[in-house]
Each structure stands twice: as structure tokens, then as C-alpha cells.
Amino acid sequence: MKTIIEPFRIKSVEPIRMTTVEQREGILREAGFNTFLIRARDVIIDLLTDSGTGAMSAEQWAGVMRGDESYAGADSFFRFRDVMRSVTGMENILPTHQGRASERILFELIGGKGLVVPNNAHFDTTRANIEHSGAEAVNLPIPEAKDPSSRHPFKGNMDVAGLEELISRVGRDRIPAVMCTVTNNSGGGQPVSLANLRAIRKVCDAHRIPFFLDACRFAENAWFVKQREPGQQHRTVREIVRDMFDLVDGSTISAKKDGMVNIGGVLLIRDKSLFTRACNLLILTEGYVTYGGLAGRDLEAMAQGFQEVLEEDYLHYRIRSTEYLGEKLLASGIHIVEPPGGHAIYIDAKHFAPHIPQEQFPGQAVVCGLYRVGGIRACEIGSVMFGGPGRPAPAMELVRLAIPRRVYTQSHIDYVAEAAAELFAKRKHLRGLRITEAPEVLRHFTVRFAEI
């Protein structure tokens, strides 16, 4: 069969409030043309992020009811720990409230002034936590990652020669860990191959540097490996996931992505003494080691989610439905980062609105257009997010359509594709923006604009 159906039935529904183009015009103006400032109830299809926005399964909700809310030693913790041990093969497991809490603990322990932490590409919170510790965060993507039209099958790979060069330039003593993000969110949701992870491991071994994964989307990455990496087709996703974790010394995970929950995170550390120090830091700000800032019911939902995400029918549908949106946009003439990634499609806004100069935020103009035409909320990843006084203009102006897990059906995705095509046909009417109010840091969340 060519049609790939959602491998679930819907038992509980949430209404979507429909709005008219005129209503959305008023809402957009009131929000200063920043879709972060729009109320969620005024959005028809919300593609702002795939983080914490997924739908939980009946089994996860059943787990929520079973949650053991004891302060210490709750059954829910042991169920969560056993699942994480069986999925990752790692012994030492800490729950945290979300990915950035794991990052904060890790880099408070291993970061510090004068140190350098390389990654294929750091996510914003990872970079911010590294920089907060006084260390420098360095991105080492392969050259193909900078070309939106390159169809490299593992565009998330790290530039291993670049890693060697960095180590010889700054010295191994200044590198407390090498990280790799799977899939690479900042680089378009692109996967990393097992071969690349092995090559990074080899370099880390040669220089005795620990290797950590940012494993938010580990299952989506493993699915791409199964589809694309020679020799992996007959292996299970579970086996591939295990190979990925076997190669590293630890991992930070936001469970709001492939953990299939609305809140939660994990910190995995093989080294016993580093793990003990992480436990002590966790207790200081997050909570006791058997709940890590979460409720027992959240641990149950994670324990179930981390197993469901490995179901191959689910992953087939998940990756195919993202690709389906990508194909429809390409067929309308819209340029995207190719090939489509796992959790999102990234529109090339410089191509979409070539008449809008970079300093007038072409990505944000497309974001506003998508909201006007279809009530669709997307996220600019370009000059609004990365620019600002004293910062160079980013190489790409992108608009991310991130797809929540198990939330929208194929007809919702068809609607998104239709709205984007309609906007593309009228693209010459898109207008640039100028900033009227902006905070000093992380300006994309609260900045306000006026149309030019």
C-alpha cells in the first residue's frame, strides 16, 4: 500500500478553534507580528515545536493513574530506570524535568572557563549552558550541512577531521567532552550515521576524551540509520539504538521529544564518580534522585513512551509523514532543507521571499504569512533568532515547521501544504519587518515588529 496511515486510532480529541483571515490579521498585529506572543487558542495548526506537544497513548495515561508519588524509592522510578537501562544499556540513570536541566547539571560539573565543547551543532540551550559555565561551544558540522539542497543521507554527521584539528589546536586538556546531537536539530533534523559516531569514538579514545550524546531524537535517528546506512536494514531499531548508546560515556535527553511525554528529561553518566556528583547537584536544585523534579506519574509516562517510540510502525509513519509534507512543498516550488529531516521541515525563506533583504527578516515575513493564510504557527530560525547588535547575519534564513508526535492527521498536513502553496503563489505581497521593541537576550521570544 502506498498510503501510510497513522498507526493509531483516536480515543480522545481536542477541538481546534477555527478563525478567519480577518480575525488572524487583528491577532497578528496585536502580537507585534511575533507568533510566540499569540495565544495557542488562536492557532489552527501549531507547528512551533515538536517538544512536549505530542499526544500520549492510552497506556501512558494508564501509567499516569498508576504513578507512585512516594518521595523516595517510588515504584515508578524503578520502572523508569529499568526501561532506560534496557533501551540504553547504561547503568546510571537520573530523571530530570527536561533536557536543559540535564545539560545544566552536566556542564556545571565538567564545564568551566577556558574549556571547549565541540558538537555537530549545539542546540541553543546546550550552547547557553556551556557558555554559562564559562566554556566555549563549537559547532563542527560536515560541509554538506551548509548546503540546503545537498541530499547527503547523513547530513547531521560531525566533521571528524575538524574535530581532530580542534583537539590538536586547543589541546585535549581543554576539552572536557565531545558531544553529538542525534538527530541534529539545529542542522535541519538530519541524522548522524553509526559510522560517524564510531569515528568520533575513535578520536575520543585516542585522546582520552569522554563522548556524550544529546539524544533527544535518538529513535528517529536510529530509523534513518536502518533506512540509509549500508548493512543496517535487517537490524531492529532497538539494536541500532543500543549501538548508539554503547559508543558513548553518557547522554543528555529531553524526553519531550522521543520520550513521547509532555514534560521530562534524563541524564545518563557511565562514570561512577561523576554520576555521584551529578546526583548531589540534582538534589540541590531539582529534587531527590528518584524523581528529579518530576511527579511519579511523569516517570510512568516516560517509561512507557521510551518503549513505544521504538515501535517500527510508529517510526515508519512518523518519518514518512514529515517527508510527505516536504514532498508537497517541493512540488509547489518551495525550497526546503533537503532531504526532509525527522521532526520538521525547514523552508528556505531567502528563496521564498527574495525581494525581502536579510535585515528585514524574510523568515519572519513567511512565518506571518503562514499564520495569516492558514492560522499555522511556525518558527523563524534566522536573523530574528540569531541576529542582533554586533552579531553576524546567519548563513540561512529558515522557517521551521515542527511536527508534534501523534497529534495531526494527514488531512491536517495536506492543509498546511495547501496554505504554504497559496502563500508561495502570492509571495510577492509578503512584506519585510522592522523591530520596534527587543530584549537583549533570546530576543525571538518577546521581540515586537512593525511591517514595512
Which residues form the interface with ligand F0G (CB under 6 A)? 49, 51, 98-100, 123, 125-126, 181, 185, 214, 216, 254, 256, 265
For residue 1, count CB atoms less than 10 angstroms from its CB and return exposed for 0-12, middle for 13-18, buried for 19 or more.
exposed
Q: Which three cell numbers stand for residue 424?
A: 508561495
For residue 316, count CB atoms less than 10 angstroms from its CB and return exposed for 0-12, middle for 13-18, buried for 19 or more.
middle
List of long-range contacts for 15-21, beta carbons under 8 Å, 24+ apart: 16/44, 16/45, 17/41, 17/42, 17/44, 18/44, 18/375, 19/44, 19/375, 21/372, 21/373
Closest contact distance (angstroms) between CB of 274 and ligand F0G is 20
Closest contact distance (angstroms) between CB of 402 and ligand F0G is 6
**Residue ranges of E strands in 56-210:** 93-96, 116-119, 136-139, 178-181
Question: Which residue, 125 or 383, is less far from ligand F0G as judged by CB?
Answer: 125
Closest contact distance (angstroms) between CB of 11 and ligand F0G is 27
DSSP for 225-259?
Answer: HHHHSTT-TTS-HHHHHHHHHHT-SEEEEETTSTT
> How many other CB atoms are there within 10 angstroms of residue 65's CB atom?
8
- Residues 257 and 216: their CA atoms lie apart, in Å, by 6
Q: Which three cell numbers stand for residue 201?
A: 569514538
Closest contact distance (angstroms) between CB of 85 and ligand F0G is 21
Closest contact distance (angstroms) between CB of 185 and ligand F0G is 4
For residue 258, count CB atoms less than 10 angstroms from its CB and return exposed for 0-12, middle for 13-18, buried for 19 or more.
buried
Closest contact distance (angstroms) between CB of 126 and ligand F0G is 6
Question: Which residue, 130 or 356, is less far from ligand F0G as judged by CB?
Answer: 130
Closest contact distance (angstroms) between CB of 214 and ligand F0G is 5
Question: Which residue, 117 or 430, is less far from ligand F0G as judged by CB?
Answer: 117
- Residues 11 and 196: their CA atoms lie apart, in Å, by 41
Cis amide linkage into residue 35, ω under 30° from 0 = no
Question: Which residue, 53 or 92, is less far from ligand F0G as judged by CB?
Answer: 53
Residue 149 CA, distance from chain mean position: 21
Q: Angle 291-293-299 (CA atoms, 0-180°, nearest 5)?
A: 45
Question: Which residue, 129 or 290, is less far from ligand F0G as judged by CB?
Answer: 129
Question: Which residue, 92 or 126, is less far from ligand F0G as judged by CB?
Answer: 126
Closest contact distance (angstroms) between CB of 154 and ligand F0G is 16
How many CA atoms does the CB half-sphere of 427 hold within 13 Å? 19
Question: Which residue, 83 or 267, is less far from ligand F0G as judged by CB?
Answer: 267
Measured at CB, which residue is nearest to ligand F0G? 99
Closest contact distance (angstroms) between CB of 374 and ligand F0G is 20
Question: Which residue, 318 or 427, is less far from ligand F0G as judged by CB?
Answer: 318
Closest contact distance (angstroms) between CB of 452 and ligand F0G is 28
Question: Which residue, 204 or 381, is less far from ligand F0G as judged by CB?
Answer: 381
Query: Dihedrals φ, ψ of 377, to 5°?
Result: -105, 120
Which residues on neighbouring strands pair with residue 178, listed in sequence order? Answer: 211
Asked whether the CA dihedral 122, 124, 126, 130 is positive or negative, the reply is positive
| Residue 72: DSSP 8-state | S
Closest contact distance (angstroms) between CB of 171 and ligand F0G is 27
Question: Which residue, 124 or 311, is less far from ligand F0G as judged by CB?
Answer: 124
Q: Which three cell numbers stand for residue 58?
A: 492510552
Question: Which residue, 167 or 336, is less far from ligand F0G as judged by CB?
Answer: 336
